[in-house]
Amino acid sequence: MDLGIAGRRALVCASSKGLGRACALALAAEGVHVTVTARGAEALAATARQIRERCGVEVGEVVGDITTPQGRADALRAAGPIDILVTNAGGPPPGDFRDWSRDDWMRALDANMLTPIELIKASVDGMIERGFGRIVNITSAAVKAPIDVLGLSNGARSGLTGFVAGLARKTVRHNVTINNLLPGPFATDRLSAVAQAQAAAAGVSTAEILARRAADNPAGRVGDPAEFGAACAFLCSASAGFVSGQNLVLDGGAYPGVL
């Protein structure tokens, strides 16, 4: 299937590893020129090189913290006018809500609610003027089925989800869609870090927690980041202009509800 986005320009945030990287790769495989960002220069350069070699598209690299005004300004400046925005940042740490201060909450809100909103604010009007835009926010399956130790994530991402639900209905008339992708367990560094915390709390090994995560999933495994990238590329495709304001759960069927 030709997704009809070859030659488009995308900013994919927090994309040296994991799900962001998978989204950048999937878009680049469709001929999209991508700007990738991360805090660590080394991993980012390696990812940018792989994308260039595999896909032959232009790849911009921006080292910086996307949760800061400077990091966002640098990323947006380097990317230029964009047709596709994939928002992403590291998830907040797991823990017990009794231990979290107001500063902890503000950091989580900054990273997982206000950063995507600021990036959308900076790019959506240009997309509307040009008559094409695809915005995908990487959130979490925890928005629909909260995970107890991830209270900071549950709270901050729910705020973003509510905001997007309103805006996505205003932009779609201009062929600018905004959707959220909700990952369940995917084989990334983040999954290992959360499993490590759960293992410490339960007094078992991290390997055991990861094995349980796979066995408990209806698919009998965790997700491959490439599967996540493919869903992102579809939501960014020319044919997906009638899909807006949706929350697509990618979790192997783990969410038990009908809707």
Residues that bind ligand NAD (CB under 6 A): 14-20, 37-40, 65-67, 88-91, 138, 140-141, 183, 185-186, 188-191
Compare residues 89 and 178 and give the one whose CB is closer to ligand NAD: 89
- Cβ density class 62-71: b for 16+ within 10 Å, e for less: bbbbbbeeeb
Compare residues 25 and 138 and give the one whose CB is closer to ligand NAD: 138
d(CA 30, CA 204): 43
> What are the angstrom distances between the C-alpha of 205 and each of 117, 149, 158, 215, 237?
38, 17, 31, 15, 41
Least Cβ distance, residue 248 to ligand NAD (angstroms): 13
Compare residues 63 and 172 and give the one whose CB is closer to ligand NAD: 63
Compare residues 55 and 89 and give the one whose CB is closer to ligand NAD: 89
Compare residues 112 and 177 and give the one whose CB is closer to ligand NAD: 112
d(CA 219, CA 203): 26
Least Cβ distance, residue 131 to ligand NAD (angstroms): 30
In 3D space, the residue among 91, 84, 47, 48 whose CA is nearest the CA of residue 67 turns out to be 91
d(CA 153, CA 90): 10
Least Cβ distance, residue 63 to ligand NAD (angstroms): 9
Least Cβ distance, residue 88 to ligand NAD (angstroms): 5
Least Cβ distance, residue 228 to ligand NAD (angstroms): 8
Degrees (nearest 5) of the Cα angle 206, 100, 113? 90
Least Cβ distance, residue 204 to ligand NAD (angstroms): 19
Compare residues 35 and 67 and give the one whose CB is closer to ligand NAD: 67
What is the DSSP track for 156-196?
HHHHHHHHHHHHHHHHGGGTEEEEEEEE-SBSSHHHHHHHH
